[in-house]
A and B are shown apart, each in its own frame.
Chain A
């Protein structure tokens, strides 16, 4: 191996040192504000993830950063920055097709029929933890596919929220790359996206169904901003919460969901250990939850 001078003795340390005490303070702050629980074994990961931000702010220690987060006049803005750094945004259009097929072929038609019979052609869906908008737009596309032109006669609202302002900005813009569309069928791509210089732009008729908001699922006041829903999607979000916060968030969903509504969770999330508020129904394609009344 040829070694050039500048490559000898490279350091792995690129950030100030995060002490155990600071790590505890930081993670309990994050936990209180967002419900996201970070285990101690991720100490160095957090150190590395936040280190860049400390450099940008020219803050020398994590203790100073914690003070900045808690007491500076910029604390609100900084909290949003922090959320961007600690939340995960992996998603794509039509993620978990089996579950979405269950929604499209069984749950949605049943719900539409019921509402129509009740004489209110109105449907509210909540996409809780929507990241950069792929999920709520996917649901919007499915609604167009199911209702076709008759969608005009319906009052459909999809409320979508996330913790990260950067993600919501991207979601509102509605432009995606090839990668986000990797599991999207070709015909859907053609029908609902236009190719622009910057990427695939979602069709305005889908976009207008969706209302994006910055909301913290662990905050009861925030959650009250969402009107009562017929269907809630919250996928790959509660996996980041500990049991106490999971319980709290699920109780928020319980309050928000109409009595005959449905809750969809992520593929690897199960709640039977956590709460008895919902009863699971095993259907072809996955599990869907209904309120225990």
Chain B
């Protein structure tokens, strides 16, 4: 029988203590072999015990315990969405399976206290509540660093009607790190190209000029966002969610005509960059926001409205404007929480759906944000068959980690 380390909050009836538990003063609270139920759980919670080691009576009992844990754990993150909506029901079923599998492989569920325990007491925000706004943050941000200029040079080339694939390739190739990433990306199974692409020029001709420039934009943006306080956000975690959303957005987009997959990929990749700017400029408020979201079990967007009075999309909108990002991408990113207000509603709706999928899948590897939900009319308008969700999630899971190490 496997011994698992779990946080007290995830105790389910039938678990057996694999090691004795001591109180803070060193006295024994429960001996090894104690069968745990609601009463014991309460005692352990009140005593402030973080972890315990548990096992099960039998193989079958272990299976059923892990299933219960997986369901209860996943459910917490689905409390905000419509429990009768087929999209979320299907998603819930997929996620429970993923968590169950991860638990069997020895995954330790993150404890509830985890995100709140970080010390940010000494950090200062750019301004106090209501004494500034998104404009001040973006202005401050722009005064600190400029966007990677390869994008602007590329933009110039694209705007010139007489430029060729070779001109584009020249600009991109001048940036070695960017070129490596770009080639890794287009060679990944996500793009499904039949032959290996080993030059930017070849990539331009296979993927298309505009498409490629959108990818360049996305990849070069990753580099811009640095110096984020590590206590607040581990960058690998942030880009993992972003890339996850990008992959989902691209795969979903391939089901729609009139939707450019690469635009959706880049929009997915950049959908939350406003949050990074908030973390950097408003670290203390950002933690308050994280705590508010976690404690109230609401999406970050809603927590930001309460705590800050504005949201991460207010920030990204201004930022992308001043960088002269393509309007479509800015439109999608700015409205991925309210697609009906987007000029390109389908695009924004796809990123919203992709964001929901990325959040949900993230639960199975330790993300602790609630599934943010989606307006039912918007989902219905997409007319997306829920049976496709599971194959998409499986495809995504195969791609995610390889692409993440290629791009970051």
CB under 8 Å from chain B, chain A span 226-276 = 239, 267-270, 272-273
Task: Kindly state whether residue B351 has any CB partner on chain A within 8 Å.
Answer: no
Binds B, one of A4-12, A60-68, A138-146: A4-12
Are B25 and A7 closer than 8 Å at their CB atoms? no
Q: Which residues of A contact B89 (CB under 8 A)?
A: 10-12
- Knowing A3-B97, A4-B63, A197-B23, the reply to whether A12 touches B129 (Cβ < 8 A) is no
Q: What separation, in Å, do the CA atoms of A8 and B121 have in the docked complex? A: 45
Are B119 and A183 closer than 8 Å at their CB atoms? yes
Interface contacts (Cβ under 8 Å), in number, total: 127
Are A196 and B24 closer than 8 Å at their CB atoms? yes
Pick from A7, A200, A239, A268: contact of B96, CB below 8 A: A7
Are B24 and A1 closer than 8 Å at their CB atoms? no
Binds B, one of A38-46, A76-84, A103-111, A112-120: A38-46
Pick from B83, B92, B130: contact of A273, CB below 8 A: B130
- Knowing A196-B25, A268-B129, A286-B128, the reply to whether A90 touches B116 (Cβ < 8 A) is yes
Minimum distance in angstroms from B259 CB to a CB of chain A: 28
Task: Kindly state whether residue B67 has any CB partner on chain A within 8 Å.
Answer: yes
Per-position binary interface string of chain B over residues 9-48, scored 1 when its CB falls under 8 Å from any chain A CB and 0 otherwise = 0000000000000011101010000000000000000111
Pick from B47, B84, B284, B295: contact of A88, CB below 8 A: B295
Question: Which B residue sits closest to A180, measured CB to CB?
Answer: B48
Task: Kindly state whether residue A182 has any CB partner on chain B within 8 Å.
Answer: yes
- Knowing A10-B96, A183-B121, the reply to whether A268 touches B306 (Cβ < 8 A) is yes
Pick from A17, A44, A198: contact of B80, CB below 8 A: A44
Are B98 and A1 closer than 8 Å at their CB atoms? yes
CB under 8 Å from chain B, chain A span 90-149 = 90, 96-98
Interface size class on chain B is 35 or more
Are A12 and B83 closer than 8 Å at their CB atoms? yes
Per-position binary interface string of chain B over residues 72-113, scored 1 when its CB falls under 8 Å from any chain A CB and 0 otherwise = 000100111111100011001100111011000000000001
Binds B, one of A23-31, A171-179, A211-219: A171-179
Task: Kindly state whether residue B64 has any CB partner on chain A within 8 Å.
Answer: yes
Q: What separation, in Å, do the CA atoms of A180 and B351 have in the docked complex? A: 38
Minimum distance in angstroms from B266 CB to a CB of chain A: 29
Pick from A10, A48, A49, A89: contact of B92, CB below 8 A: A10
Could you tell me which B residues sit within 8 Å of A by CB distance? 23-25, 27, 29, 46-48, 50, 63-64, 67, 71, 75, 78-84, 88-89, 92-93, 96-98, 100-101, 113, 116-117, 119, 121-122, 128-131, 284-285, 288, 291-292, 295-298, 302, 306-308, 394
Could you tell me which A residues sit within 8 Å of B by CB distance? 1-4, 6-14, 17, 39, 41-42, 44-45, 47-49, 88-90, 96-98, 175-180, 182-183, 195-200, 239, 267-270, 272-273, 282, 286-287
